[in-house]
Chain A
């Protein structure tokens, strides 16, 4: 397929008729000549006239063809290099925030979208689909279509988002849609952060990845995080806010930054090395429970404006509270709940005993820790998931089938523990704790006092050895090989598993000296310093009925979740504040190094993404035709003709 960069110039092709016209208008009229030796002349020129006529027409044709080639070259013809293949193709357009970077008056996204549109044109004969890697990847069709219309429409309507785009996820979606061999063209800015999770070697057989560079890689600096310490903000207690500024330019820079929180603020000029970061800190003491907002700013003027200001929202709790939930008897001192609640109270928590139904109704809201034991109410799962997403901690004490079945946050670790309860009902005695990771903060107090742990016995569920399933980390184990304590981060929250019954009848755990120490460490972990960002990524789900964006436009929840899609402070009911900020990785606009780019097919794609220009060949053809014309019409030909 041939396309023209300047189709209007093709109209000039009519000028190719100029040589014929000029020849016709200016050709010499034959002069009448009464020549006595006409017979001799006729014999001498027999055949010559016909040859001359043929030569004349050939010369005219050559001139017209040469002119046509030159004029067509001016129209910028492009040859689609992919047209002959029937391999399906997918175009993945990066719509992450880094594509908003500006260079030479246009954004990388605008250039990438134009490149993707041209690519879609040139791929047109092949089955094609497009995927836009925004906050949520969208694709033009479930499978590649022979008609490029849907893909072109999707690409034309695409807009850049503020998130990380999840390029690996979009590529995976494209690969799934191809459902076999094909080409995946990734149109992006070539930022190393965007392509960090992409591995061309792990693509299915027959699927080739091609990077199409939309340009980028400008120097950039940004506020990449605002973290709060401790992880739980308590009213009346000091809270350290730390804003981190990154410099992704080629040289170290002194970057002025201002960090503000309410009426307090602090400004400083940070010396930030090239490719590194520096932090500015501000300590505040929140007086009331509720939501505390902070922001950090640096001067703009770099490639990406969206990361020059960052907001943060921290929930300030009235105190360190824990909700202990179970569907069993709450007042039974020999049951699991009372020893658990007593231990947490001893560690400084204000404990509220509740059950699954109340937990599902919001009884655990505002608690730093939710501890469950003997919980069978599956409706509590949503409350637990929201608690974890909000940065809370969940201590899951597994004493029965219901506990094992709870799975907040998707494929949660309890599934790895097995479904069958293995208690003393069959005469199985409690087992002793055999090992613990003493370097973990949970077991720090037991360093040199391992004997305290060795005395602990309890009934437990059968679990896979080490409990190393679903990303959980085993921290302690029973003598029979089952996991005793495991930990896993779920969202911003922390999940702690205690595979042991705290009931007094089920072992020595609740009566041991180790138990208060363990509860104390649990309390410390809940309020531990966290170097995490106090802002959500654009597009991340937030459990809320509704949220209003920074401009006040209200976004209603879908399936109990709202996905705030742009940076700023989003406000919900009951004074809730959600800070949304550009993911830190989007500030890093540095491009892939050469070897990585080649590994991802960048060279090939850069060479083949654009259609091949035909004009050099046309100019060469014009020159060749003129050469032939000179040979045919020139003195050499005349000599041989005469």
Chain B
């Protein structure tokens, strides 16, 4: 059977919602404070000042009194808008399950979680940029609509994940928590850093889920001789022996993921590698726990 992009039937919205809700089991025990923290009006605690922190939140009194730089942290009191950005480029159709499906389920779970927390959720999807962002969704009753929007997001063409990441935040007027799901395979880490830095400068808090298929993270040597083509057509077709190329490729993909992670960190954005064969629940658990720990 040729190893090519499958014509996978897109997950229906209901399946996305069901999978998302199943992923959320165990991560909500009732109404919680939103894990999507940000600057807010109610003081919560201090933490050590980090370069890049907004100087408005620097506790000047403590600085004057104890010569210690501490940043004031606040608890959200109002809903934090959430922008979920889905990369629907052709490369996202690869994998078992397809990276796009995996991303949809994870983003849908986050949308449901946010809606149930009373947060406003926007959903944007695109392959080569975001043409428009639909009106926000509010309340837990909008979960199905969020899942529908994610499930129906058009895709399959060549794209630029950096542009997708850059377009979403740029179109928002208010500060948002931007969570993007993309494989970042064709992303230039430097451009990625610049796009996220720009979003951060606009006040957005960004997180990137880099969704990669298992075969992309570790090239299966058993594939043998392959006539490789780029589903997005950027690279001319070529022949290779998987067993011979495995070592070099594995090192290259690891280096690329590491470069993307460094670019995200430099732009104060969260980066999380999301293998498509990892259960969404486990991914969400790790990620939410990490965010809560950071708060």
Contact = CB atoms under 8 A, between A and B. Distances in A.
B4 A30 contact: no
Contacts of B228: 33, 35, 38, 41-42
A37 B242 CA distance: 13
Given A29-B225, A33-B4, A641-B244, A39 B235 contact: yes
Given A32-B4, A33-B4, A38-B230, 19 more contacts: A30-B225, A30-B227, A31-B226, A32-B227, A32-B229, A34-B230, A35-B229, A37-B216, A37-B249, A38-B234, A39-B230, A40-B252, A40-B256, A41-B240, A41-B245, A42-B228, A43-B252, A45-B238, A642-B244
B235 A48 contact: no
Contacts of A31: 2-3, 223-227
Contacts of B186: 39
B248 interface: yes
Contacts of B238: 38, 42, 45, 49
A44 B185 CA distance: 14
Given A38-B235, A40-B253, A40-B256, A33 B2 contact: yes
Contacts of B249: 37, 40-41, 44-45
Interface in A625-642: 638, 641-642
B71 interface: no
B6 to A, nearest CB: 9
A212 B230 CA distance: 76
Contacts of A42: 228, 235, 238
A28 interface: yes
A32 B2 contact: yes
B183 interface: yes
Interface string B209-237: 00001001001000111111111101100
B5 interface: yes
Interface residues of B, number: 41
B164 to A, nearest CB: 15
B117 interface: no
B183 A36 contact: yes
A251 interface: no
B45 interface: no
A44 B248 CA distance: 5
A59 to B, nearest CB: 13
Nearest to B249: A44
Interface in B44-79: none
Contacts of B213: 36
A37 B241 contact: no
B225 A638 contact: no
29 contacts: A32-B2, A32-B4, A33-B2, A34-B3, A34-B229, A35-B3, A35-B216, A35-B226, A36-B91, A36-B92, A36-B94, A37-B253, A38-B229, A38-B230, A38-B231, A39-B185, A39-B230, A39-B235, A41-B245, A42-B235, A43-B252, A44-B245, A44-B248, A48-B248, A49-B241, A52-B244, A638-B243, A642-B245, A642-B248
B246 interface: yes
A610 B92 CA distance: 76
B245 A33 contact: no
Nearest to B246: A642
A44 B249 CA distance: 5
Interface residues of A, number: 24
Interface string B79-108: 000000000001110100000000000000
Contacts of A43: 252
B239 interface: yes
Interface of B: 2-5, 90-92, 94, 183, 185-186, 213, 216, 219, 223-232, 234-235, 238-241, 243-249, 251-253, 256
Nearest to A36: B91
A33 B215 CA distance: 12
Of A40, A43, A49, most B-chain CB atoms within 10 Å: A40
Contacts of B235: 38-39, 42
CB-based closest 6 A-B pairs:
A36-B91, A44-B248, A38-B230, A30-B227, A33-B226, A34-B4
A335 to B, nearest CB: 122
A39 B227 contact: no
B225 A34 contact: no
Contact of B244 (A30, A38, A39, A638): A638
A639 to B, nearest CB: 8
B219 A33 contact: no
B226 A40 contact: no
A470 to B, nearest CB: 94
A29 to B, nearest CB: 7
Nearest to B248: A44
A45 B224 contact: no
A40 B92 CA distance: 16
A273 B90 CA distance: 107
A342 B165 CA distance: 155
A212 to B, nearest CB: 59
Nearest to B95: A36
Given A37-B253, A39-B234, A40-B185, A45 B229 contact: no
Contacts of B183: 36
A36 B185 contact: yes
A36 B234 CA distance: 10
A33 B3 contact: yes
A30 B238 CA distance: 10
Given A34-B5, A37-B216, A41-B245, A28 B240 contact: no
Contacts of B185: 36-37, 39-40
Of B91, B223, B228, B256, most A-chain CB atoms within 10 Å: B228
